[in-house]
Amino acid sequence: MISDGMSNGTLSMANLYSKNILGRETNWMNLYLENKASRALMDTASASSIVTDSAAASSSFGGGFRVNNGSLNVGPNGEQHLPIWQKFKKKGKKAGCVTSVTITHATPAGFCINSEKRSAEPEIAEMYAQFGFDVMMGGGDEFFNADKRKDKKDVYSTYKAKGYQILKNRSDLKNIDKTKPVLGIFTTGALPYSIDRSHTPELQNTPTLAEMTKAAIDQMKDHKEGFVLQVEGGKVDWSAHANDIAALIHDQLAFDEAIKAVIDFAEKDGNTLVIITTDHGNANPGTIYGNSATQNFNSIANYKFTNEYLLNNIHNDFNTQQLKDWVFENNQFSLSDEEANHLLNFYKGLEKEEEGLYNYKKLPYKIYSEFQKKRNNVGWISMDHSGDYVELAMYGPGSDQLKPFMKNTDLHYLMLKAAEVENNF
């Protein structure tokens, strides 16, 4: 289980929000409080940098070697490292991935395939079929759909020819044929942010991460040789890149619901190792000291939507009062006229456009997060990945192998050892 881009501050704030607003500890923290999980810190560096990207990070887990940022299980000199889900498939196990972003994205791909470039998502969509993974669920219709691919290739038909059932919406999860492998592609691009999904009825035909996780486990749990599953909370990373606090907390809590689904199964099963971690930190968000720090942090409960949604719905013909009203409607705080005009200048082309990894529409995320910071006491060090050591937890048989400090590559060999799969490929 990988909450992509989860800094320690993200884990802390999600638990703080859960306690203060929802009245309960998170499932992750409960594993610690009830002394059910082993715990360590992990070094996440890649071959090319102390700060990894998701492709190199997943390759460390998936291939057992550090590679350069941007590549998937291909070493600096072109070495091809056999991905771990292929190793488990060769030993007769079922293997799957579920994610809240595109299923062809770096984190699932790092467990499954080799590619010099993480951006080769159209090709990765075809590779998955070649290796016959048993359950693959997430977004990314544009990489499978002939109408959306540049080469007009119908990749769905490739899967159907191999006996896959294709799932397209949430209700399809209730009617899965257990005798067939599953490809679930529920949207173009990534799945919606959890907070936007909860407040937008038309987005609720997409499943939650926990729902996909339960369905994947149900599909593979009775296989006599066992199964392996990767669960990625991919939009935790995207929201950290955007310094979007509501998106971040609610997607971390959605990942935490998936933890519950996994632990509920593992407790009953008694023979499953659960590894819960992240691939790297991102933006290192955290709470800031102040007289009203608790009250200000708790005000995040008033946020109805992500900053992405809020900022996408501001137009250059808004006047100052319209913008202030829109912000108040969605975040329950009042901008000053100066702040509102600063934001409006961006939409009128008078401010420099913001860049950012997942900022396709060049929205003013940084400007707006600074306005929020004054009201919610949450700060960010950047809008990109960080090289800090990260949290690593394990539950179940094999968790005794966890040492207090690990390299990301160590997990590859620990998984093989725990499953009694010899590394002789």
Tell me the binding residues for Zn(2+). 4, 237, 241, 279-280, 385
Which residue, among 169, 236, 188, has the nearest Cα to 390 in the 3D structure?
236
Task: Write out the binding residues.
Answer: 4, 105, 107, 232, 237, 241, 279-280, 385
Closest among 257, 150, 234 to 187, alpha carbons compared: 234
Spatial strand order in the sheet of 390-395: 274-277, 390-395, 38-43, 405-407
Query: Which pair of structure tokens corresponds to residue 332?
Result: 């329950």
Q: Residues 279, 391: contact at Cβ < 8 Å?
A: no
What the block records as the tokens of 418 is 């725990």
What's the CA gap between 219 and 137, in Å, rounded?
Answer: 12
> Distance between CA 109 and CA 113 in Å, rounded?
6
Cα 273 to chain centroid distance, Å, stands at 20
The annotated binding site for Mg(2+) is made up of 4, 105, 107, 232
Contact 135, 150 (CB under 8 A): no
Single out the catalytic residue among 7, 46, 54, 60.
Answer: 54
Look at the block and give the residue holding tokens 């090289």.
Answer: 387
Do 67 and 120 form a contact (C-beta atoms < 8 A)? no
Is residue 18 part of the annotated active site? The answer reads no
Give backbone dihedrals phi and psi of 137, rounded to 5 degrees, phi first: -135, 140
Write out the catalytic residue numbers: 54
